[in-house]
Structure formats: structure tokens, C-alpha cells
Amino acid sequence: MRMETSGAAAPAAGGQTDARVEDVLGQLTLEEKAALTVGRDAWTTVPVERLGVPSVWLSDGPTGLRKARGGADMSVGHNIPATCFPTESALGASWDVDLVRAVAGAIADEAQAEEVQVLLGPGVNLKRSPLCGRNFEYFAEDPVLSGELAAAFVSGLQERGVGACVKHLVANESETDRMITDSVVDERALRELYLRPFEIAIDRADPWTLMAAYNRLNGTYCTENTRLLHEIVEGEWGYTGIVMSDWLAVNDRAAGVAAGLHLQMPHAPTADAVAAAVREGRLPEERLDAIVRALLAFVFRVDAARRPDATADPDAHHRLARRAAGESIVLLKNEGALLPLEGETLSEVAVIGAFAREPRYQGAGSSQVVPARPVETIHDELAALIGPAGRVTYAAGYGADGATEPALLDEAREVARRARTAVVVVGLPASYEEEGADRTHLDLPPGHNRLVEAVLEAQPRTVVVLVNGSAVALPRAGRAPALVEGWLGGQASGGAIADVLLGRVNPSGKLAETFPARLEDTPAYLSFPDDGTGRVPFAEGLFTGYRWYDARRIDPLFPFGHGLSYTTFAYGEVTSRIVGKSGKEVDGNGHRVVLV
């Protein structure tokens, strides 16, 4: 674990750029200026060829590069293959800024090789409720941890010449009706929690872009929110990059320009409305000029950072993905030092659960990467690493989407009973956690719970491996003697989990989010996802995450920061030494004390 960041060596907009910006700005017609504030298609910006203003390509993030096959292609699942790294919720548990920076650097190299200038990530919304369907795309429940990791991600991208886009500004902590909800947040919680990761990322790493969220903030859409964009981000924080809209988040383009929204994405026929607002005196031309000035500086900056000869090494990136997944795994429980598996316990290992062969390794939605390499499975990687030292058997254990199937349960019991050790892989199917929807409960699918129960009856030496992007309640799986949180660990997560189970990697991840004992214990339980009228009251105020559990003295299942390792630690008798100027030792309270 390492928590420390330093600023990225990003190519800055210098005096020459300023002069070029002013020169181009002075030659643009009103219509051209208005056109620049709206995307050309789904993924690119409008060029002005006669003045040498190039188009810029933007692609999702943050799990890897999701480059569409064409500027108009908004489909998910048919993109250009790229390395699928662990999701942000996994990386968050590493608490490791160097690791996050290295992952972002690798993504940047792939972006450069595919001529992408901006990666749409990292996401820094907080895990206000474990039910948020998109928590897999966010780092933590804590704003400082989120901000520091985000700064590392931004630096990793930008030092390799690819702009970051820190998203979603702000208070987009739920997915239900996300395009119309109104997040009602008090000033202190807004400043100290929800704005904080953006502020830290800007302060430490100067992201070239930000993304304004779909929702309203205290009554006004974020994409039109003067107080948010103009007064706080630009005015108070001195941010000089550009703010783009989330995709389809714009309602009134001219109001957005007035508020400080530089770029509307994707394309919409709204440029005329911007030009008309200027012509009719509703939008001062100086305001449009300020927006276009920042846009031009951004375009010239990313253009100068292009590395046309860039190449990426998919095999090296696959190895990095495996290392990153391994560093993120959290050992939640290990009674009787059941793990790591070694010696005799390997003679027959029953791997049970369809996820062990048909892995879930990333979240569903806009961040979904088409993996560049075959996705590793826990079953195959364990079998390969164990080799002739033992035998790996398999049973699927549950049906599609986690349904209980009695015949599969019987088979699982039998396979577990015969083995020396059982590894049961359960978690959340894709339909349980996805962008655009929130969960309604924290449970594993019924078939997964039944499977754990059945295997525990048949085999006491059972390790449960969890595959999920966000906290879950574990009434059954929590009874297993060993419990490993494997997250959605990307294309190499199967190997990373096998590495930890066999002790090739010492688990060192620590939870970046509380695992509650019950949904009713969670901070936003009474106000999530909304109050039924489209308002999302952030009623718990400052008491999110561990603050809530501490203040109310509620014992969670596993607290923020929890995570074991294979190392054993022992605390001995405490002695203190205070060394005095005289160098004389003073004996007080039975301790040896030396004054400094």
C-alpha cells in the first residue's frame, strides 16, 4: 500500500499556445464558435480545418480503453479490443497510488496507439450507498482516498499524453432516474465529501477535462449550474481545463455556455441556439469567447501531446492487469489459516460455482471493455498452477443468473465431499449491478447462498471467493472459514485469485468501502435512491461510510480498512524512551523513560 501523489508532468498551455488561441479565436465566426461547443458525433469534437483546429477523440474509461469502431457508434460490446484492467472499486482496495498510476499509464499507451486523446475517467463519485449500481466504477466511500487515487490515475494518463476526464460532477451517487433527479446536498457535505475528490484531483494533477453529471444539484442541472461550474470550479478552484457534459445530459445549451459548460456531448443540433442567444443578447459574446478560448487551449494541448508512433504491449499489460488484480484482492477472513492452500490440501481441490469457469470480471455499461487477451478463469489458472501436485475438480453449482438448481447442488455436494478443499465462487451476476440501475437489496442470488450452505455441510475446509463490484451482505458465505473478496478484477482476475489462494501473492488489499451487516444499517437507507418525487435528499449529511458506523456505534460485517494477509503480527510489551538534552534516563510509571 502506498498513499502519496506527486503532480503529473503534463505539457502545459504556454505563451505560444495563448497567442495561437487568441489568433484563432479572433478569426472564428459566431457560428463556428457556437459549433465548437457541441460534439461532432458520439466521440469526437468539431474541427475547424481552415484555421488548423483538429478534432479530438474521446473514449471511455476507466476500466480500460473503450474505443468505438466509428465516431457515430454508441453500441457497447463491439469496441476495439483493449486490456481490461480491474474496475475502480477493486483498485480502490489496493490503496496504492503507484499501482493506479501504472494502470492509467498503460491505458494511456493503448489510447495513444488508437489515436484517442482523452479517456473518460476516473470516476470519483462516493459510495454513499452500497446499492448504487455503478459503485464498481468508483474508488471508495471516502473523499480523500478517492481524490488521491484519482490524482494518481490522472497523472498516469496525462504524463503519457492522454487527457483525463474526472467524472461525474457532482452528487451523482445513484443511478435511478439519473437524468432527472435532484440531489439535495447541504453545503458542508457538498464541500467536504462530494466535491472534495474533484478538488484534490485538480489540485494535485490538473486534469485536462471534467464531466458534468446528469442530475440536478440543489435544483439546477449540473450542466447548467453557474454556482458549480463558474463560481466554484472555475472561480474558487481556478480550474482552467474544460468541462464536458455527460452523454445526453444537456437540456439548455445556451444556459450551459453561460454557466461554464464548455462542451456538449454527443452531437445535438444545439449550436444554432447558442449563436441565436448571442445574437439576441441573451448570452454575452464574451462568455462564449471565454468558453471557446478554453476549448481551443484544450484542443491544442491534447494535439501537442499526441504520440503518433506510440505502441502498446498487450502481453505486458495483461501481466500488469494480473498484478493489479492481485494487489486489490482483500482477504476478509482466514480461520485456522486455511489459506494459502498448500501441501496435502492441494491433492484434490473442488472448484465450485459457474463463475469459476464463466467469469464475471467487469461491470456492465459504458465502461465495458472488449478484452484484448483471453479472460483467465479461476478454474483453469488454479489447475495450471497446481499442476501435477494435485487434482482440480469442478461443479457449476447454480444455474443462469444464480438460480437454484437441485441437481447442480447435489453434484456440488458430492464433488466437495470427495475433495480435500473446496473453493466456492459466488458473487453478483451482471444483471445485479450495472450502470443505469441501482440494486434494491444487498443479497447474493438465492442459488449462490444455497450453494455455499450445501458445500459447507459437505466440506468444512471451504474457501468462499466473492466476485462482485460492490459490498454485499453475507449471511451464508460469512460462515465460511475463509473468505476472499476478488472483486471485478479485469481480464486477468482468474489468475490473480489463483495467485492469492496458493500464496504466490500475499493479499494486502484493504476495503475502501464498508461491508454492512444489513441494508437497514447503511447511512442512506431512508433516502436512497430518492424520496419518490425525484429528489435525492443526502439526509445523512456528513455521516457517510465509516463516519456513520462510528457515530452510531453500528458494527458492520467488515469495516472500511479491513483486510488480512498471510503475514502474522504480534504486539509485545510497550516501552517508551524520551531522550533528554542531558541524555539522562528518567524512570516513570514503571517504564524506562529518557528525555529528549
Q: How far apart are CA 55 and CA 57, in angstroms?
A: 7
Looking at the Cβ atoms of 265 and 500, the one nearer to ligand BGC is 265
Query: What is the three-class DSSP state of 183?
Result: strand
Looking at the Cβ atoms of 176 and 404, the one nearer to ligand BGC is 176
Looking at the Cβ atoms of 60 and 499, the one nearer to ligand BGC is 60
From 102, 103, 42, 89, select the one nearest 67 (Cα to Cα). 42
Looking at the Cβ atoms of 55 and 508, the one nearer to ligand BGC is 55
Which conformational region is residue 171 in: left (phi greater than 0), alpha (psi within -120 to 50 degrees), or beta? left
CB of residue 120 to ligand BGC, shortest distance in Å = 4
Query: What is the three-class DSSP state of 372?
Result: coil
Looking at the Cβ atoms of 246 and 530, the one nearer to ligand BGC is 246
Q: Which three cell numbers stand for residue 415?
A: 464433488
Looking at the Cβ atoms of 114 and 521, the one nearer to ligand BGC is 114
Q: Which three cell numbers stand for residue 295?
A: 476549448
Distance of CA 26 to the CA centre of its chain: 41
CB of residue 294 to ligand BGC, shortest distance in Å = 20
Looking at the Cβ atoms of 81 and 559, the one nearer to ligand BGC is 81
Contact 501, 104 (CB under 8 A): no
CA angle 387, 393, 395 (to 5 degrees): 145
Q: How far apart are CA 43 and CA 64, in angstroms?
A: 16
Of residues 96, 182, 206, 246, which has the active-site annotation?
246
Q: How far apart are CA 21 and CA 292, in angstroms?
A: 9
Q: How far apart are CA 271 and CA 150, in angstroms?
A: 33
Catalytic-residue membership of 252:
no
CB of residue 67 to ligand BGC, shortest distance in Å = 11
Q: Which three cell numbers stand for residue 117?
A: 486523446
| Identity of the amino acid at 131 | L
Looking at the Cβ atoms of 247 and 528, the one nearer to ligand BGC is 247
Question: Burial letters for 451-489: b for 16+ Cβ neighbours within 10 Å, e otherwise?
Answer: bbebbbebbebbbbbbbbbbbbbbebbbebbbbbbbbbb
Q: Which three cell numbers stand for residue 42?
A: 458520439
Helix runs in 184-311, H state only: 187-189, 196-205, 226, 253-259, 271-279, 285-304
414 phi and psi angles, rounded to 5 deg? -65, -50
CB of residue 247 to ligand BGC, shortest distance in Å = 4
Looking at the Cβ atoms of 111 and 382, the one nearer to ligand BGC is 111
From 201, 192, 199, 68, select the one nearest 142 (Cα to Cα). 192
From 406, 411, 488, select the one nearest 446 (Cα to Cα). 406
Closest-CB residue for ligand BGC? Answer: 366
Q: How many of the other CB atoms lie within 10 Å of CB of 153?
A: 33
Bridge partner residues of 564 (DSSP): 331
Integer CA distances (angstroms), 5 to 152, 154, 227, 387, in order: 6, 11, 29, 41
Q: What is the DSSP letter of 244?
A: E
Location of C-alpha cell 474508488: 139
Task: List residues near ligand BGC by CB under 6 A.
Answer: 60, 120, 167, 246-247, 366
Contact 296, 21 (CB under 8 A): yes
CB of residue 558 to ligand BGC, shortest distance in Å = 28
Contact 111, 403 (CB under 8 A): no
Beta strands in 406-495 (DSSP E): 421-427, 462-467, 482-485
Active site residues: 246
